[in-house]
């Protein structure tokens, strides 16, 4: 009898566990199916099919501004059944709140409905050289110092951390590594006070420099104040703003998004190609034309969706052969379809379009830089690069004659495949 009771308890526990797992999977399916934000364009019909047992209430003070399934709803609270396909249209720009209810009863999630003007972007695909200066001196890590007495010291242990930004030393602002090094040398071994920024909070720490056998003073911090590299220009807006990369510039040592004070994009030339293969991502090797003649624009923002800024002048851009096509309408994420598309990039001398397949689409925005899984199908590109390689990040993705996204990452184990971000995620960062 006791053994039977134990078996019953075990079976009950297993059953409860299975129920909990099932509920979690259902919850995850709902969460991954629904974005935090939906955009539609003024006077443009947008189709949606979430196929989930929920009701949505769209709250608006502008009665009659939104149409559902071609019918204007004369109410400030519009109900939509998300278990069936529906169409949305709005005659006015604005932001609206959408409240989701599971089975029409349980409050589940609030999402933002943003009605915007239809816009066009110039898709580029040109290689660019990127140079950025950090907003403060970035701390990469710490190391041991051998003092003139032969002993090892670690002056910044438990005081500075990887990812900190040094802003000032002894109340003197420092903008460059050499400024910080000079100030440390001038302290003559006395304690120094460092003003640092850590996770947007400013704090002060006191550090004692160590005198080495050569007579110089050190604090044992690995630091950086700038970085540079090659990427791809994604688009230029009609008012002269640009977006590039599709993902942020992260520090190679800390892996953190770099806080940028200033930066510049330059024209660049692809010199050679390292083909990608299983386990080893390839790379475009380029030369940055880092002179005023080839300066294309100024970087104002480094975000998780890419770098953004202002073009120095459309005439200069035309002279540098950056604009090679007419503007295209921006495609919203709900318009993206699985199937054929193209990416635009420069592998040899000219900007070319190459065929790809969009294998999956995730409009939930759970990861802003990984909304699409794409696969290179164009044999020309496969022969040249083996697929997606470093330096192609930012290549615009075009489908149905609309710019819908940009290439962001490559699959390490399969260079023919990678991720793309939706273009609306990038446009959100324009000023």
CB 282 within 8 A of CB 274: yes
Q: Phi and psi dihedrals of 8, rounded to 5?
A: -60, -45
The end-to-end CA distance of the chain, in Å, is 73
Rounded-to-integer distance, Cα 357 and Cα 337, Å: 10
List for the chain the helix, strand, coil content (%; round to 5): 15, 50, 35
List, in order, residues 6 or more apart from 46 with CB less than 8 Å away.
Answer: 40, 87, 88, 89, 332, 334, 335
Q: Which residues are catalytic?
A: 247, 378, 393
Which tokens sit at 141? 């890590």
Rounded-to-integer distance, Cα 328 and Cα 430, Å: 17
Alpha-carbon radius of gyration of the chain: 27
Q: How many C-beta neighbours within 10 Å does residue 294 have?
A: 17
Rounded-to-integer distance, Cα 193 and Cα 160, Å: 12
Long-range contacts at 228-231 (CB < 8 A, ≥ 24 apart): 228/129, 228/130, 228/131, 228/132, 228/288, 229/129, 229/130, 230/127, 230/128, 230/129, 230/130, 230/268, 230/284, 230/285, 230/286, 230/288, 230/391, 231/127, 231/128, 231/130, 231/307, 231/391, 231/393, 231/394
Q: How many CA atoms lie within 13 A of 77 on its CB side?
A: 5
Task: Look at the alpha carbons of 345, 347, 349, 352 in this order and tell me if their dihedral is positive or negative.
Answer: negative
CB 300 within 8 A of CB 232: no
Rounded-to-integer distance, Cα 407 and Cα 409, Å: 6
Q: Give the three-state DSSP class for 138.
A: strand
Q: What is the strand order of the sheet 66-68 is part of? A: 46-48, 86-90, 66-68, 71-72
């Amino acid at each position: 009898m006791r053994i039977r009771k134990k078996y019953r308890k075990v079976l009950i526990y297993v059953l409860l566990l299975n129920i909990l797992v099932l509920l979690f999977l259902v919850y995850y399916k709902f969460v991954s199916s629904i974005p935090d934000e939906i955009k539609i364009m003024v006077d443009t019909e947008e189709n949606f099919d979430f196929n989930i047992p929920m009701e949505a209430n769209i709250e608006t003070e502008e009665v009659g501004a939104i149409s559902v399934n071609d019918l204007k709803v004369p109410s400030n609270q519009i109900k939509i059944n998300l278990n069936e396909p529906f169409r949305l249209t709005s005659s006015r720009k604005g932001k609206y709140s959408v409240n989701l209810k599971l089975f029409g009863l349980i409050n589940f999630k609030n999402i933002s409905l943003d009605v915007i003007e239809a816009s066009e972007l110039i898709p580029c695909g040109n290689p660019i050289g990127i140079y950025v200066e950090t907003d403060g001196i970035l701390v990469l890590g710490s190391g041991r110092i051998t003092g003139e007495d032969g002993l090892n010291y670690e002056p910044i242990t438990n005081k500075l951390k990887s990812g900190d930004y040094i802003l000032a030393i002894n109340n003197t602002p420092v903008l460059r590594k050499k400024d910080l090094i000079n100030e440390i040398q001038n302290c003559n071994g006395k304690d120094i006070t460092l003003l640092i920024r850590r996770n947007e909070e400013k704090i002060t720490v006191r550090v004692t420099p160590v005198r080495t056998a050569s007579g110089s003073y050190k604090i044992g911090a690995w630091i950086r104040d700038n970085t540079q590299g090659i990427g791809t220009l994604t688009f230029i807006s009609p008012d002269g703003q640009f977006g590039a990369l599709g993902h942020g510039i992260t520090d190679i040592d800390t892996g953190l998004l770099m806080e940028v004070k200033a930066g510049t994009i330059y024209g660049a030339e692809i010199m050679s190609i390292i083909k990608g293969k299983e386990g080893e991502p390839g790379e475009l090797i380029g030369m940055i034309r880092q002179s005023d003649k080839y300066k294309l624009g100024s970087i104002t923002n480094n975000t998780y969706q890419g770098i953004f800024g202002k073009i120095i002048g459309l005439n200069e851009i035309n002279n540098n052969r950056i604009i090679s096509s007419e503007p295209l309408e921006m495609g919203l994420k709900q318009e993206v379809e699985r199937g054929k598309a193209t990416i635009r990039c420069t592998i040899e001398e000219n900007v070319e379009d190459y065929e790809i397949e969009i294998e999956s689409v995730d409009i939930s925005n759970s990861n802003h830089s990984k909304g699409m899984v794409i696969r290179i199908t164009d044999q020309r590109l496969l022969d040249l690069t083996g697929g997606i390689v470093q330096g192609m990040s930012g290549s615009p993705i075009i489908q149905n004659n609309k710019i819908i996204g940009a290439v962001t990452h490559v699959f390490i184990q399969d260079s023919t495949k990678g991720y793309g971000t939706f273009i609306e995620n990038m446009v959100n960062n324009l000023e």
